[in-house]
């Protein structure tokens, strides 16, 4: 019952957010008077939501207004959970108690809640409550499990994170945000609700598959990565890492692999990765032909593999680019720096102990223990950085930091030039390696290592310093923008996939992922 109530409340809130995509509604939520209403609503959010829970007929418009007025999501959902819990408790009381006993209990609860709300409206009471909460937290925190204590502070890094080519993350900065702590199936529920609402509004639940007409399924899922890279035309090809695809067959001997790599202008070490992939699964650095041959021995037969030059630039970033059909210039909607998972030796601790002591590495300790099973007792010398994974994906513990402040007009113009050479590409993320932040800002010394379509995320929202409400706001905006771009492409003749066609792409991807070798 409680879950159904909360999901319903959340649905109404999301409808309010989505209504801002309608121009005439958005225009009517702007202005001085509406701003005063927004301030008043946020200031009196607790008594407002309690009142609308108890008074029939006002819940829907009030919760809808919370979405329209952009009430912080975290405050809204916490208060909703509390009020819904009280509401369900009252209902259960009425159902399980005698009428007289239930009446007395409801009166006591009602009087208590009313008195608490009145007290909290006074400045003195809020000050006392704040001081009491701070004292309770200070007293209780040392006795909490370490994991919970770290969660309250975002699992701060005990040392500055300094990797070549990337800005320094200072000691004490949070490394795990609340968005990452929520189980994915629960985290994405609001986005699923929004997807259905946008699909109904645009008359197609699979519309995003038309966002990039030149990419199969629009790049939503199950697309060929080498086909995406091959979209980059000759005039911009020097910005992309050299890549070649092959089909994994028993006839591929080490000598044949050497000839194939040489013919494509590639030399070892190389990066081998699946043509149909997801979040770095199966990506591996191979040192020579024998290493590549061993990798292919554990790869699905008749599946395509990409061999790509190993770009030795130190920094890595995800650059999300958007340009609607017919527009002369696009924009970089998101940019994120990726810090690959690593530990730093102290000359005394084993790799196992270093992983346990680092909040971010410990978060994915199981994956690191499996990948480095034969090295866990190694003791790195003091100051040595040990990379725990080739890929910087959050799936393996990579740290994402918001880099939108580093986007420049020069960098945007560079990606305009690249997108000009990619017919039918309008919405997606370029994963790049770069020499330094300064050179990236002027659009130089970087290489594109992967092109992702509509299924990509604006990953700067995974920055641990992002509030949960801000993370959701970013994803809501991105998803709404994806439907807008796809709708514009449809107006220019692109055809979205049917639901059955989309399911076939999803099945193909999900069938392959468990068969890939482990990353390194």
Pairwise CA distance, residues 184 & 481, whole Å: 22
Bridge partners, 161 (sequence order): 169
SS3 call for 427: strand
| CB-based contact 474:460 (threshold 8 Å) | yes
The kind and range of the H/E element at 12 are helix 2-19
Its pTM stands at: 0.74
Which pLDDT score is estimated for 373? 86
Q: Point out the residues of the chain with pLDDT beneath 50.
A: 102, 106
**In this structure, are residues 468 and 76 in contact, taking their beta carbons and an 8 Å threshold?**
no
Strands 427-434 and 315-322: antiparallel
Residue-wise pLDDT tens digits, 340-386: 999 999 999 999 999 999 998 888 888 888 888 888 999 999 999 99
pLDDT of residue 341: 92
> What 3-state DSSP class applies to 285?
strand
Q: Are 415 and 330 in contact (CB under 8 A)?
A: yes
pLDDT given at position 14 = 80
| 269: preceding bond cis by omega (within 30 degrees) | yes
Largest CA distance in the chain: 88
pLDDT value at residue 496:
94
Which H helix or E strand runs over 292? helix 289-297
Burial call 100-127: b when 16+ CB within 10 Å, e when fewer: eebeeeeeeeeeeeeeeeeeeeeeeeee
Phi, psi (rounded to 5 degrees) for 136: -65, -45
Segment 272-297, tens digit of pLDDT: 999 998 888 889 999 988 899 899 99
- Among candidate residues 453, 440, 210, the one with its CA nearest the CA of residue 338: 440
Question: Are 171 and 159 contacting, i.e. CB atoms less than 8 angstroms apart?
Answer: yes
């Amino acid at each position: 019952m409680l879950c159904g109530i909360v999901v319903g409340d959340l649905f109404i809130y999301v409808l309010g957010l989505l209504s801002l995509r309608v121009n005439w509604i958005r225009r009517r939520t702007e202005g001085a008077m509406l701003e005063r209403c927004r301030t008043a609503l946020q200031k009196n959010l607790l008594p407002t939501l309690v009142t609308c829970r108890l008074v029939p007929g006002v819940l829907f418009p009030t919760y809808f207004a919370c979405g329209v007025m952009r009430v912080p999501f975290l405050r809204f959902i916490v208060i909703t959970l509390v009020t819904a819990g009280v509401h369900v408790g009252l209902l259960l009381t009425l159902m399980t108690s005698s009428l007289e006993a239930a009446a007395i209990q409801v009166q006591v609860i009602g009087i208590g809640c009313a008195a608490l709300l009145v007290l909290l409206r006074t400045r003195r009471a809020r000050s006392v409550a704040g001081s009491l909460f701070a004292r309770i937290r200070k007293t209780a925190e040392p006795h909490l499990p370490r994991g919970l204590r770290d969660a309250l502070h975002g699992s701060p890094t005990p040392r500055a994170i300094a990797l070549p080519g990337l800005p320094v993350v200072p000691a004490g900065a949070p490394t795990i945000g609340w968005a990452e702590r929520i189980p994915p199936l629960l985290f994405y529920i609001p986005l699923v609700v929004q997807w259905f609402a946008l699909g109904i509004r645009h008359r197609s639940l699979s519309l995003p598959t038309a966002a990039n007409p030149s990419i199969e399924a629009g790049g939503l899922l199950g697309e060929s990565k080498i086909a995406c890279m091959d979209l980059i035309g000759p005039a911009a090809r020097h910005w992309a890492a050299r890549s070649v695809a092959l089909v994994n067959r028993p006839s591929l001997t080490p000598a044949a692999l050497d000839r194939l790599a040489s013919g494509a202008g590639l030399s070892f070490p190389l990066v081998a990765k699946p043509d149909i992939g997801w979040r770095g699964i199966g990506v591996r650095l191979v040192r020579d032909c024998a290493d590549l041959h061993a990798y292919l021995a554990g790869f699905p037969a008749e599946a395509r593999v990409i061999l790509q030059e190993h770009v030795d630039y130190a920094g890595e970033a995800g650059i999300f680019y958007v340009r609607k059909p017919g527009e002369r210039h696009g924009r970089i909607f998101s940019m994120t720096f990726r810090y690959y998972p690593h530990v730093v030796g102290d000359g005394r601790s084993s790799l196992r102990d270093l992983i346990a002591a680092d909040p971010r590495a410990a978060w994915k300790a199981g994956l690191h223990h499996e990948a480095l099973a034969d090295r866990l007792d190694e003791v790195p010398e003091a100051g040595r950085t040990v990379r725990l994974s080739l890929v910087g994906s959050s799936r393996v513990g990579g740290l994402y930091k918001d880099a939108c402040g580093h986007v420049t007009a020069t960098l945007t113009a560079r990606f305009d030039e690249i997108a000009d050479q990619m017919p039918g590409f309008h919405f997606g993320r370029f994963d790049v390696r770069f020499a330094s932040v300064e050179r990236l800002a002027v659009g130089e010394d970087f290489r594109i290592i992967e092109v992702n379509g509509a299924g990509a995320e604006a990953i700067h929202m995974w920055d641990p310093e992002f509030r949960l409400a801000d993370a959701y706001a970013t994803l809501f905006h991105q998803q709404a923008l994806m439907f807008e771009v796809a709708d514009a492409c449809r107006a220019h003749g692109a055809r979205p996939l049917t639901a059955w066609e989309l399911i076939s792409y999803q099945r193909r991807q999900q069938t392959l992922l468990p068969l890939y070798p482990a990353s390194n």
